[in-house]
Structure 1
Amino acid sequence: MSFKAVVLGAAGGIGQPLSLLLKNNPLVKELALYDIVNTPGVAADLSHISTPAKVVGYLPPDDGLKKALTGADIVVIPAGVPRKPGRCSDRRDDLFKINAGIVRDLATGIATSAPKAAVLVISNPVNSTVPIVVEVFKKHGVFDPKKIFGVTTLDVVRAQTFIAEVLGDLSLASSINVPVVGGHSGVTIVPLFSQSSHALPSNYASSDLQALTTRVQFGGDEVVKAKDGAGSATLSMAYAGAEFAEKVLRALKGEKGIVAPTFVHLSSDKSGGETIKKEVGKDIDYFSAPVELGPEGVTKILSLGKLTDSEKALVEAAVPELVVSIEKGVSFIAPSKL
């Protein structure tokens, strides 16, 4: 069994390497690329690679978005404007408005042309863009909470890598299992190091653990600063997006026992969602938690498990930020904007 994958924003800094990785995935039989520029060239370039997936690039004219989406099994959305150095509130608001508008329009296309596809949202800020996609789907009467995912995998990838660095063996990184919960920005990112499959050294200081947590939470800033105005985390995000997409594809194919943290609407598993709400002490609609994936998308939302006191404090700090970000996304979608 193989699938049609679609990348919306395929000509961008995340979109191109993500498309390359999906072209190399044996579960992908057809890869449709969409962007406002350059997708025919990106598709032609990728089509020369000796893997089975057929690649076609689409532009907005002649119903390009509809053609790209028709028959899609999985849609990945990295489209949007990247972060830049600085934390000016005006800049953040401008970034949100631009990306929110882009995601709204793409979500409208998916809702009308591929409403049953699994939708993987990478576009920042994920804590707000996922609610935007959900509200658009609701307004079109096609909302299935089991099929809409916020991709938080980069936080997991960073946690794996940073733990391996502490242990002095990067060859361990891909085998480390460490849940990262909450959301996908700043203090909403909560790495649960106490549940890591590879424990940190027994003499690891609490101040070092705090620094490690902060590094996972603000790893994106590290990359933005290092690129010195030339971009944000594109290559690592593409890798993380492809990793999560592969898990979703394997689950769609029927493979059992696939679990990954992802930012979902908690109604996707009512029992698991209610457990999360009790654990975080808030009647919240979205949260990133370990999710068991299946052919229909979300099969089960897993408990956060036993948290240390410091991890409980991190969750407590994350929730108010999440509430604001979620509401920002929900309120962006109004009848006049569709």
Structure 2
Amino acid sequence: MVKVTVCGAAGGIGQPLSLLLKQSEHITHLSLYDIVNTPGVAADLSHINTKSKVTGHKGSDQLEEAIKDSTVVVIPAGVPRKPGMTRDDLFKINAGIVRDLAVAAAKFAPKAFMCIISNPVNSTVPIVAEVFKQFNVYDPRRIFGVTTLDIVRASTFVSELIGTCPSSLRVPVVGGHSGVTILPVLSQVEGTEKLSQEQIKQVTNRIQFGGDEVVKAKDGAGSATLSMAFAGARFALNIIEAVVAKKTGIVECTYVDLAADVAGAAEVKELIGNDLGFFSVPVELGPNGVEKILPIGAINNYEKELFAAAASELKGNIVKGSTFITESPKL
């Protein structure tokens, strides 16, 4: 049985994400959890003629049932960004939500592959890691920050400039998942050598702050939900393909604890130093989750400047997430 639980399934990301997951032939049980409205969302999705059964679970008293024995847990739960709000501003609200969901997963699905979407990802992934450590079930190969939206945006925005098909263009985006911590490695993308340095700077900035475009366009009514659902489903389905279908050669950039592959992380550490325990890197996925951390590869001088600018902010984000658990009362 392949059980996938979506925590926050009735929200703006959760509903379209659950719809996309319902189409997978590998999922046998799609479990939907939220604090409101999940029975209705589950009833709606259950009418779709694919193999997975759908169950809806509402409220904290049904969280154990929702998450128990899950193969994959996807967490888009939390409040969305509003105009003028940074991802860091979300921390005060979303940190507690993610902590409570992580506690449930550590208790009732300790072997699950955890896909964290809730912002700020730079901090919420360390929160989940620290929770799992407290319950002595931590495996850094199984906890992922979903940064796929940065890659999806990069493919879209760069393809507009160089005239290629966005769905086939692969743009490596490493670092973190907010503002200047998002590091598109455009020098490795064929066709970008035709762009001026000013174009490179502009598209880099657009990739880093693409979420602001959506927040502004929605005029206070929300943030990126549909594109995030698409990106989150892509990552979760790749995990399922690697773990369940045993498909090889699946590579995604994702925000992980670099301890997941110490040997593979050595090249990354040479670029970023030893102070950063978490970083979005190219990862080969497999039955254990992180099979290999792959090299980031050569970067140019402009990209080295971007890496330097990202380091201090990312370090602060990581510390904020970790200390939210380590300096709080024992769970």
- Tell me the equivalent position of 1:176: 169
Rounded to whole Å, the distance in 2 between the matches of 1:27 and 1:176 is 26
Pick aligned residue for 1:267 from 236, 240, 259:
259
| Distance apart, 1:335 and its partner CA | 4.4
Structure 1 residues 92 and 289: alpha-carbon distance in aligned structure 2, compared to 1, 3 A threshold: closer
SS of equivalent to 1:49: coil
SS of equivalent to 1:41: helix
Rounded to whole Å, the distance in 1 between the matches of 2:11 and 2:328 is 30
Unaligned runs of 5+ in 1: none
SS of equivalent to 2:167: helix
| Distance apart, 1:87 and its partner CA | 4.2
| Conservation of the 8 A alpha-carbon contact between 1:159 and 1:216 | yes
- Tell me the equivalent position of 1:209: 200
- Tell me the equivalent position of 1:74: 72
Establish whether residue 99 from structure 1 lines up as the match of residue 111 from structure 2: no
| Conservation of the 8 A alpha-carbon contact between 2:252 and 2:282 | yes
- Tell me the equivalent position of 1:240: 231
- Tell me the equivalent position of 2:10: 11
Instruction: Within 5 Å, give how 1:66-215 maps onto structure 2.
Output: 66-87=64-85, 92-93=88-89, 95-169=90-164, 172-196=165-189, 198-200=190-192, 202=194, 204-215=195-206
Q: 1:212-234 deviations in whole A, cap 9, x for unaligned?
A: 00000000001000000000000
How many residue pairs are counted as aligned between the two chains?
329
Q: 1:57-101 deviations in whole A, cap 9, x for unaligned?
A: 00125x41111111210000000000000147xx954x2111000
* TM-score where L is the length of structure 2: 0.96
Question: Runs of at least 4 residues of structure 1 off by over 3 A?
Answer: none
| Conservation of the 8 A alpha-carbon contact between 2:125 and 2:321 | yes
SS of equivalent to 2:28: strand
| Conservation of the 8 A alpha-carbon contact between 1:31 and 1:56 | yes
| Distance apart, 1:168 and its partner CA | 3.5
Structure 1 residues 264 and 115: alpha-carbon distance in aligned structure 2, compared to 1, 3 A threshold: same
Rounded to whole Å, the distance in 1 between the matches of 2:161 and 2:9 is 35
Q: 1:126-168 deviations in whole A, cap 9, x for unaligned?
A: 0000000000000010000000000000000000011121134
SS of equivalent to 2:79: coil
Look up the equivalent residue of 1:71 and give its one-letter code: D
| Conservation of the 8 A alpha-carbon contact between 1:167 and 1:201 | no
| Distance apart, 1:282 and its partner CA | 3.5
Look up the equivalent residue of 2:254 and give its one-letter code: T
Rounded to whole Å, the distance in 2 between the matches of 1:25 and 1:310 is 41
- Tell me the equivalent position of 1:299: 291
- Tell me the equivalent position of 1:54: 53
Rounded to whole Å, the distance in 2 between the matches of 1:64 and 1:53 is 20
| Conservation of the 8 A alpha-carbon contact between 2:30 and 2:54 | yes
| Conservation of the 8 A alpha-carbon contact between 1:291 and 1:302 | yes
